[in-house]
Amino acid sequence: MIVKKYLNKIKTKNIILLFTFFIVFSISAQNNDSILFPIPKSLEANITFWKKIYTEISLKQGVLHDKDYPLLIYKIIELPNENEFTTSRFIEHEKQNIINKIKNISEKPFEELSSDERYILDLIKKYAPYDSINKAAERIRFQRGQKERFKEGLERSTAYLDTIRSILRDYGLPQKLVYMPHVESSFDLNAYSRVGAAGIWQIMRFTGKKLLKIDYLVDERRDPIFSTHAAAKYLKFAYEQLKTWPLAITSYNHGINGIKKAIETVGTYDIEKIIQNYSSPSFQFSSKNFYACFLAACEIAEHPDYYFVNLNFSPKFKAKSFILPSFMQASVICRYLNISQETLMEYNPSLRPVVFNQHRHIPQGFEIRIPVECNIPHPEKILASVPDSLKSIKEEQIAYYTIQRGDNLISIASRFNVPLKELLQENNINHNSKIYAGQILRIPTSQKKEIALDLEEGKNVEQQLKESQLVLPSQIDISTKSESKDLKSKKEKVERTELLKTALVDDTLKHVVMHSADTLPSSSKKIKNLSDSVFDVSVYDLEVTLLPEGNIARIKVSVDETIGHYADWLGISASKIRQLNKIGPRSEIKINNSLLIPVTSGNLEKFTKARLEYHISIEEDFYSRYKVIELKPKTIKYGDALWNICSAEEQIPLWLLIKHNKDVDLFNLKPGMNILIPVISEKTEDDIYEEENNPKDIYPSFGDPKSKVNSKMINLCPY
């Protein structure tokens, strides 16, 4: 009995000690967070604002507020349940009403102010200095609510939180960083920004290329595990460079060099002083608020039940992986492992949609994940036994053709000796499709000849290219350009007759295959006349000119290209290109400038294909998530610069601006010039569904075949 009382006493003592330890540990962790992630007094209003946006304001609502004093919310507006064009006009109308009232406050005596104007004046007095009214009209901005999106992000996040915490721990990083994807993407694996950032960590191509595999088939930015490793490496390096976590986190939006410039200009590492005193064209509302957004997201994510009800958290992501032993199509993998294509897509988000839509080979050596529920002991052995006819040890050959003015699908099929039906199927062509000069066609790979460029000494390189039928954007239709018009016309008539007899195309397609390609319009103010998702190669100057030496080619730098890209596409080091062009390690290349590249046996075709697919993939990713709803005319004023136009609050990809202004020299802007600014809107689920079921373009955008932007992960193995 005495022993029992003694043991109980020990247990009670241990419980008290353990409880005390947890309290001390918790307080220590909180204190550590307050040191690593301080909350400046001047940012408290910003944090409160973002908590309101994340938890109170619906996606069907928005606020008109002061960008410098965010709690100065003039009005919460209910957005019309109509198209984006109407919504945009409605927001501008509401914004202008408030601007007029603010101007009246400045110009009219107090006793003549309306009740609405007096209400606005009271708001300004409450949330901002009184003298701020002078430029208040210039500071009004619209912010759409994020309540539903943030809630869905909380529900999705639980699938990966433990994995992300583990990765952060491996890099010695604070655990609080696990909540950053709430700010970047709401933990949406399919998230894609207007300017090309992808995945839950919203990694840009240029940044991601240094740390991840990104090409036409695989984009590891979209994989939450691979991308977390990349984000952790970046954040670790940023902290080492910038010394504080508020600045390291802000650099995730503004860049390390941008923050270094701010530190140098203001003379401090204090985030509060930098936000208050630093100004630059790129350090605006988004960058100034990024740390506040992070702190707001942390507060909500740490206490989700306080802010939301009926949360339905996703189960923890569990998968097993293996290395793909050969190149093979997704359909083959699914058939032999007895899993659905949807499951393969869900568990391998780094595979771009083209792998499934174009039936492309998944690369050999790719790490494939499948659900743990799939009771397959050795999947790699099963796939190793796949018949040779269904796999390959070599990368598949893909051919592209740039459509020329006057081409039709019949003549193209005849030229490349491919069945017309295969050409139509390969490019998803239906009775609504049209073709335009400058568009890219994929030539069915089953009929493509193996191309080998033997750059033999003393032999004419251009002649070898012609003989090899290598498809280059600058060297298309070489064999027919020398034919007379009469001969070419007779030949095409024969082609039409023969192919229509043998192709067995549907009657509804005959007008499509016989339609001659016209030139895409350079611009249009009527959106309904624009073929937005058509890939127009003329937007990019991809011409390759081979020099007489035979081992050097000249190119022009196109939009979104770097020396690192060229080196990667050629399979050589960037230093070789810099040496050839006598460019220093810190020198930058400019769009439209000429550049020499070294050409070796076999790498020119690889370069041309990779370069083309790079630009195609950027457009595909953009159009899978966004659409252009309007083109706004703009007259260039003194001081306007191309970079500022693209990086304004409504960010615009440079290639998209070029696409809608092909008749304007955007790289030589002068006051008085008129250009068109594309207004971008995120696609709805209805938009995506309609496009997938009624493709109109010969080269359509490739969205997620599931067509559900916010779909949850399938954590079951459907047999």
Q: What is the pLDDT of residue 528?
A: 44
Q: What is the mean pLDDT of residues 284-311?
A: 96
Under a CB-based contact definition with an 8 Å cutoff, are residues 362 and 217 in contact?
A: yes
Residue 140 in this model has a pLDDT that exceeds 90: yes
Residue 269 in this model has a pLDDT that exceeds 90: yes
With a CB cutoff of 8 Å and minimum separation 6, the contacts of 612 are: 400, 440, 473, 537, 542
Dihedral in degrees, nearest 10, Cα atoms 75, 77, 83, 89? -30
CATH 3.10.350.10 for domain 626-682, yes or no, is: yes
DSSP of 74-101:
EEEEEPPSS-HHHHHHHHHHHHHHHHHH
pLDDT-derived band at 23, boundaries 50, 70, 90: very low
Angle at 401 between CA 398 and CA 405, to 5 degrees: 170
- Give CA–CA dist 632/37, Å, rounded: 42
Under a CB-based contact definition with an 8 Å cutoff, are residues 495 and 418 in contact?
A: no
Q: What is the mean pLDDT of residues 94-119?
A: 93
Phi, psi of 573 (to 5 degrees): -85, 150
pLDDT-derived band at 717, boundaries 50, 70, 90: very low
Tokens encoding 333: 């993998």
Q: What is the pLDDT of residue 467?
A: 41
- Give CA–CA dist 591/559, Å, rounded: 6
pLDDT-derived band at 716, boundaries 50, 70, 90: very low
3-state secondary structure of 524: coil
- Give CA–CA dist 35/245, Å, rounded: 10
- Give CA–CA dist 145/290, Å, rounded: 16
- Give CA–CA dist 695/116, Å, rounded: 49
Q: What is the pLDDT of residue 17?
A: 52
Under a CB-based contact definition with an 8 Å cutoff, are residues 198 and 630 in contact?
A: no
Q: Which residue has the tokens 């949850």?
A: 712
Least confident of 341-355, 381-395, 398-412, 521-535: 521-535
- Amino acid found at 129: P
Least confident of 46-50, 51-55, 170-174, 621-625: 621-625
- Strands, sheet with 73-78, edge to edge from the N-terminal-most edge strand: 73-78, 61-66, 140-144
CATH class for the region spanning 399-452+465-520: alpha beta
Q: What is the pLDDT of residue 48?
A: 98
At 653-673, the pLDDT tens digits run 999 999 999 889 999 999 999
Q: What is the mean pLDDT of residues 7-20?
A: 51
Neighbours of 17 (CB within 10 A): 10
Domain boundaries, the chain: 2-36, 60-144, 147-307, 319-390, 399-452+465-520, 540-615, 626-682
Q: What is the pLDDT of residue 456?
A: 35
Q: What is the pLDDT of residue 22?
A: 46
Q: What is the mean pLDDT of residues 177-183?
A: 98
At 621-647, the pLDDT tens digits run 999 899 998 899 999 998 888 888 888
3-state secondary structure of 598: strand
Higher pLDDT, residue 515 or 620: 620
Architecture of domain 540-615: Roll (3.10)
Higher pLDDT, residue 703 or 251: 251
Q: What is the pLDDT of residue 491?
A: 55
The percent of residues above 90 in pLDDT, for the chain, comes to: 56
Residue 691 in this model has a pLDDT that exceeds 80: no
Of these ranges, 215-229, 404-418, 460-474, the one predicted with the greatest mean pLDDT is: 215-229
Residue 22: Cβ-neighbour burial (10 angstroms; 0-12, 13-18, 19+) = exposed
Q: What is the pLDDT of residue 530?
A: 46
- Give CA–CA dist 280/255, Å, rounded: 13
Tokens encoding 141: 């901005």
Q: What is the mean pLDDT of residues 167-193?
A: 96
Q: What is the mean pLDDT of the chain?
A: 83
CATH class for the region spanning 147-307: mainly alpha
Residue 20 in this model has a pLDDT that exceeds 70: no
Query: Do 540-615 and 399-452+465-520 fall under one CATH topology?
Result: yes
Expressed in percent and rounded to 5, the helix, strand and coil fractions of the chain are 50, 10, 40
- Give CA–CA dist 193/202, Å, rounded: 7
Cα–Cα distances (Å) from 106 to 74, 110, 111, 121, in that order, read: 16, 9, 13, 10
Q: What is the mean pLDDT of residues 557-585?
A: 93
Q: What is the pLDDT of residue 399?
A: 84
Residue 601 in this model has a pLDDT that exceeds 50: yes
Residue 449 in this model has a pLDDT that exceeds 80: no
- Amino acid found at 59: L
pLDDT-derived band at 504, boundaries 50, 70, 90: low
